[in-house]
A = this chain, B = another copy of it.
């Protein structure tokens, strides 16, 4: 007897199929088996530019059809949700077109390469939401169970008044000065370097966990290796000419460091770098409040360290919570205690929450407005770095702060003098 699927379906069209597209495909494929959903996602169509590679990817990743024009993909009647996994420079155009076409949108982070684009996207999202069309930006780390649980502990007051946020995102993939000048190291394509790629994650995470956006920053950025070999493809002729590898300038930061303040009084330090030898994916965050503290490292993503400062001193200490219990966030879909999850599960959780929001006719988080709030911080960081590290307020106008704040919070600028 054939098995049957009784829940309604929602057709997904995804644009882009590189690393992030593979992770998203895995998630679309898995989410309905792991979680009870109001709608069952169907992997309807994959969009890309080169037909041969696209078709191979679709076959491998499990997409039913392909489209070499993203506009055609958006227009497909079997696509109700557009998942954007392309580089940042194309996000605004695709996302706005999809929202205007009445398609729900999931857009990879960072929301855009500029504040202006992000503003346009947030405006389009607000307009679309009035018509019941939903949008989400893919800050997937919020969905690591340990970080979702961290947010729960903070919301419950287990940390008391927050004092310190201390966060770093450390990688090491361009330590070698002979690593080539890939597109991610060119400003015209990538917008910025470690700042937008890694810094965006920790800014979003800090704002998510604290529950309010940063009010100002002081920053410095650095490019340690200022010239790199051109990639093999583009360097061919030059290299042939004189036997030496042709080089070009790196036009983005290798590292960005900044200090910040939150309106509620907490101070924060941020560091994003691609040259921290030995650190592979060390997204770390520690938060100290007057009742407790939390610490997390993505390299040990199933663990959350929690210190309860109301415990008697003799038995207090950072406890290592394995965030794999049935009542931890998202764990209802997975394995018994102690059986850890991996990086790709964060995307499954993202799809779960997005499908639920669509099915329940409400806005998911993080919203495009949350994405804009991150973009504004990144812009302020670049301004401060260019201006002798001078304190640079971040003005969050026109959008309500994200997170679990009540909707009454006003649209007036929120800044704090240093």
Contact = CB atoms under 8 A, between A and B. Distances in A.
A122 to B, nearest CB: 28
Interface stretch (A93-101, A112-120, A279-287): A279-287
B175 A340 contact: no
A220 interface: yes
A3 B55 contact: yes
Contacts of A257: 259, 267, 269
A215 B156 CA distance: 44
B166 A168 contact: yes
A276 B340 CA distance: 18
Nearest to A217: B389
Q: Do most interface residues of chain A lie in helix, strand or loop, or is the interface mixed?
A: mixed
B265 A224 contact: yes
A284 B53 CA distance: 43
A218 B389 contact: yes
Interface in A289-321: 289-293, 298-302, 306-309, 313-321
B335 A23 contact: yes
A208 interface: no
A1 interface: yes
B306 A277 contact: no
A337 B279 CA distance: 9
Most buried by B among A335, A342, A384: A342
Nearest to A55: B3
B1 A318 contact: no
Given A65-B2, A166-B271, A317-B320, A307 B282 contact: no
Nearest to A1: B66
A185 to B, nearest CB: 16
A321 B325 contact: no
B389 A19 contact: no
Contacts of A302: 299, 342
A218 B288 CA distance: 22
A171 interface: yes
6 contacts: A22-B33, A25-B33, A277-B309, A298-B338, A301-B340, A314-B321
The 4 closest A-B pairs by CB, nearest first: A280-B338, A281-B338, A278-B307, A218-B389
